[in-house]
Structure 1
Amino acid sequence: MAGQAVSHPFFARVYPHINAFAEAHGSVEHRQEMLAGVHGRVVEIGAGMGSNFVHYPPEVEQIVAVEPEPRLRALAEQAAAKAVVPVEVRAGRAEALPAHGTFDAAVFSLVLCTVPDVPAALAEARRVLKPGGELRFYEHVRSENPRFFRMQRIINPLWGLAGGGCSVTRDTEQAIREAGYTVEEIRRFVFRINGRAGPASPSIIGTARPSTC
């Protein structure tokens, strides 16, 4: 798939360590919460190193996992081999997904912070969902606290350089609504590690469906 690669070698090297630390402090439970009740065919967009694969329930028939970063994709392929549900890992970007109207669920997990064109990615997810399909999301977002948000805005340029383009200032819930989804469930929380909140701590987990009107 020409033109689909995105190379972030530094981030790809350090992310497994960041992820392991987060999982040791609660992100495993967040992933499980996001995926509870998912079934049928699933497209996971920006699958990273495949950290979600072991948390999909057995009612899932197949996962098509799309990841543009080659080093992370190689790790996702290793994770796919250990998953209890069938996983197909593909090169690709959120703005250009495979197939049309063939998935029961689309999953965004800690990826909309890095996608260059969020509206296009959410529109693509709508396009590949079956009628009645659902969007599952777990993302860190801009803080609702004005003082904390000011700190996020100050640190965001450096954060993006170190974090593979990650932004800590996006209002992802609003972006989902503006992309034509109805948010059915959402939980907002601050993911504190050892009692401390960092720039990426404000988070949301939820479910949305394409609006019918």
Structure 2
Amino acid sequence: MKINPFVGTIAALLATVGAAQAAPTLLTASNVPALAGASVIDFNNAATGNFTSRDFGGVTISTSTANGLAVDSIYSGSYATSGRYVTNYNNGGTLTFSFATAVSAFGFNWGAADQAWTMQVFDLQNVLLSTLNIAAQTSSSGYAGFIGANGNGSTIGSFKLTSAGSTDYVLIDNLRTVAANVPEPGSLALAGLGLALAIGASRRRKSAQAV
């Protein structure tokens, strides 16, 4: 059976788009291609003090525990921090990061995490894309490191951090985000329309040839 070249081209394009949206994967370093050109929130201009939910330039950080988060600088210079940073000062429960605009990748300095954590990554519709395991930090690393996620073609709307233990006092600094290139709904609709028209034209030609 012959395939209309136009139909084949559109089908291949749609297959490529679908294949590009793989599940997000864990990042453990900031100098990776996925974070190239990232915007950085260093919290240094943020007012200190406790909070439950707070926006930091388009990224809202919240917790399930009232006033369980804080902007602080007590341990500045240690645990992968410099200047001010965000911490679950009152041992807040799940930490949620919500992006005002979808991102393709994110990451941040991560310190004092001596317990294992999990990171759940969601899309803009709050659909779970991936659950990533974060190992506990050790003294050999100075209880300091970097974690994040690469969307691998999937757009990210939020993520949640949950400690494997009951509580774990952690510090977060230099939050990096890369804005996602979200396809316009009209572009996808046009691609689908083009495919439908191409299939229809192919069928009409076959009908004409059969007469």
Provide the TM-score with structure 2 as the length reference. 0.25
* Greater helix fraction, Structure 1 or Structure 2: 1
* Greater strand fraction, Structure 1 or Structure 2: 2
Provide the TM-score with structure 1 as the length reference. 0.25
Q: Which has the larger radius of gyration?
A: 2
